[in-house]
Amino acid sequence: MKTKKSCLEDESSTKVEDGFEQDEFEPELLTEDREDKKSSSKYVTQVCHLVQGKQGHAMEDYIVAKTMQVDDSELGLYAIFDGHSGRDVAKYLQKHLFDNILNEPDFWTDTKGAIKRAYKTTDDEVLDSIVGSRGGSTAVTAILVDRKKLVVANVGDSRAVICNDGVAKQISVDHEPQKEQETIESKGGFVSKKQGNVPRVDGQLAMARAFGDGRLKEHITSEPDISVEKIDMDTEFIILASDGLWKVMSNQEAVDCIRDIEDAKEAAECLVQEALDRGSTDDISCIVVIFQ
């Protein structure tokens, strides 16, 4: 039996600051689905967990975690949007990015091309609709097709990691300014280290790709890196998380932290608590999808 709820309905799985408008979050949660066996031999359990950071600003992370039927396929849709300099862009992505992807006419025949076009379309919409906003957002999106294939796309430093037989594999790309310095400079920008000795585009943004950031758009891009993974009997789980987790934990450490945990809710909470124990002060968003 399918049951859905907002992860904000359970105080044990989410912490937010007093006064935060919780209805602005719209993640949906499918706790378990053990009756529909037509897609594959894998059952899927998914849970999200979010924690407000200690940096003195409102929660800027938004997530998506839901399943839906499209044509004859079951799709699991998962995403982390880590906003910066405001929440507007991340909130817009939560509401519109997956719709734009699935509305691409050739989504099924040219999935990678469709995702790239939808990312560009959505970024154009962001820049047109959020007038005067200097903010932006990362994005890591994962589309699980019939529990057999996973398509991951990302811009920025939110990350996706898959565990196959106990081994962590990063399936997204951290878009760090120094890695794309030549491209940034070819567009008239520069990379410098100022705050905390962190490389920044034009001395401002600590990532080379992002949605929004209109004032830097000539020097950065929203074009995603995309990877496709087969889900097989060795696939144990995937983790999507914002950099509040990954700044203090390696991919393999995250996998090792939860590999022996069978409950997705407990696994997500364990990862976030471990990040807090290691001193993370940023907002932390985490989605764990377990294959059984």
Q: What is the pLDDT of residues 244-259, one digit of tens each?
A: 999 999 999 999 999 9
Give the pLDDT confidence of 177-231 residue by residue, as tens digits: 999 999 999 999 999 987 667 899 999 899 999 999 999 999 999 999 999 999 9
pLDDT for the residue numbered 195:
66
Asked if pLDDT for residue 281 goes beyond 50, the answer is: yes
What CA–CA distances, in Å, run from 98 to 69, 111, 139, 233, 247?
Answer: 14, 13, 11, 28, 27
| 285 Cβ contact list (under 8 Å, min separation 6) | 48, 49, 50, 61, 62, 63, 80, 82, 158, 241, 242, 244
Fold (CATH) for 4-103+134-174+221-291: Phosphatase 2c; domain 1 (3.60.40)
Match 């020097």 to its residue by tokens. Answer: 219
Q: For residues 89 and 211, give the distance between their C-alpha atoms in angstroms, rounded to a whole number.
A: 7
CA 131-137-140 angle, 5° bins:
140
Q: For residues 264 and 259, give the distance between their C-alpha atoms in angstroms, rounded to a whole number.
A: 10
Q: Are 289 and 42 in contact (CB under 8 A)?
A: no
| 256 Cβ contact list (under 8 Å, min separation 6) | none
What pTM did the predictor assign? 0.84
